[in-house]
Amino acid sequence: MKKFLTLFIILGITSCTNETTDSETVSTDKDKTYNWRLVTSWPKNYPGLGMAPERIADLVEEMSDGQMTITVYGAEEQVPAFGVFDAVSSGSHQMGHSGGYFWKGKVPAAQFFTSVPFGLTADEINAWVNRGGGLELWREIYEPFNIYPIPAGNTGTQMFGWFNKEINSLEDVKGLKMRIPGIGGEVLKEAGGIPVTLPGGELFTALQTGVIDATEWVGPYNDLTFGFHQAAKYYYYPGWHEPGPMLELIINLDEWNSLPKHLQVIIETATKAVNQDMLDEYLAKNNQALTELVEVHGVELRRLPDDVIEEFKTISDQILEELAQEDETIAKVYNSYKSFKEDVSEYHKISEDAFIEARNK
């Protein structure tokens, strides 16, 4: 009986000790505060693009009841517009908001998680990333750089852009200096143009002074705010180069792993909400802005000639196949992307495509 009582007491003390330790751990997780810095590739508080990280920060602070605060910095405030990836990878900043195709020199396959010419629309890339295996691939290719990516916004199908000369044939593309990033820029190059990569804040001056002949940016909602109609006459569509560009919230992986689970869930949830909210914002605002550009500012809205679009598509297909042959990682991502696109396109023929055709007759 004495031995039994002694054992019972020991077990009781051990149990209480464990419960106290667990309780202290939970208390520590709940009491510790986190103050993170987020750098972006966009001007501070810029409509749509720049406000998405601000909304994420606001939601995270509110959902965590102030346990986590995130200070957002615009391009050039702490790091250059195209320095976001390196800043987060190195750990100098915990978070960043940008587009994956800006890192094509470091992670060529990252371009597929922003936009591919003649590729997935906004709804389709959301489906591929979130439900079709894309997110797992995305995180796999960013892991060696100590980065954890989360989908964080989409502008919807963009415009091809602003031009100071008419595009009536493929000859008009040759020698054209145009700001256009990603694979779209490679397509322009193969067609005889000269792709240039510049951050958004430099585009108006570059276009106005003739440093570039043309620029793509986003669409009417953002293009109106930058005043491109004061620097170029012609506004071309369709945005074959960026049919559904996805943006990214990138987090230093070590910092991410150090967070308690409930804060990870809050960040994921807030970012997912903003990913959809941003797309809604552009869909609601673009046509209003386009109407103003055409009816108030006299912008000439033009459609690219069919033969130019067809040539761009042919070149794009060739570039994608070549990239997949040259790089195993790109091949892995491209095969997943291509398979999903083919599958969803077949269904859209009898669903969304068929409905839109019927509605617009």
Calculate mean pLDDT across residues 141-156. Answer: 98
Calculate mean pLDDT across residues 130-146. Answer: 98
Interval 44-103: pLDDT, tens: 999 999 999 999 999 999 999 999 999 999 999 999 999 999 999 999 999 999 999 999
What kind and span of H or E run contains 353?
helix 352-359
Residue spans of beta strands (DSSP E) within the chain = 34-40, 68-73, 95-98, 147-154, 161-163, 177-179, 194-196, 214-215, 234-237, 246-252, 300-303
Q: What is the dihedral of CA 219, 224, 230, 236, to 10 degrees?
A: 20
* Whole-structure pTM value: 0.90
Calculate mean pLDDT across residues 165-179. Answer: 96
For residues 26 and 236, which has the higher predicted lDDT (pLDDT)?
A: 236
Calculate mean pLDDT across residues 296-313. Answer: 97
Domains and CATH numbers, the chain: 35-154+244-283 (3.40.190.170), 161-241+298-359 (3.40.190.10)
Interval 7-19: pLDDT, tens: 444 445 444 445 4
Q: Tokens in use for 285?
A: 């605002």
User: Which residue intervals of 32-75 are DSSP H helices?
Assistant: 51-63
pLDDT at position 138 is: 98
Sheet with 300-303: list strands edge to edge.
Answer: 194-196, 177-179, 214-215, 161-163, 234-237, 300-303
Q: Using the predicted structure, report yes or no on whether residue 349 has a pLDDT greater than 60.
A: yes
How far is 332 from 328, CA to CA, in rounded Å? 6
Interval 23-46: pLDDT, tens: 444 445 678 999 999 999 999 999
Q: Output the average pLDDT for the chain.
A: 93
pLDDT at position 28 is: 57
Q: Mapping DSSP to helix (H, G, I), strand (E, B) and coil, where does residue 246 land? A: strand
pLDDT at position 79 is: 97
**Amino acid of residue 106:** K
Sheet with 246-252: list strands edge to edge.
Answer: 68-73, 34-40, 95-98, 246-252, 147-154
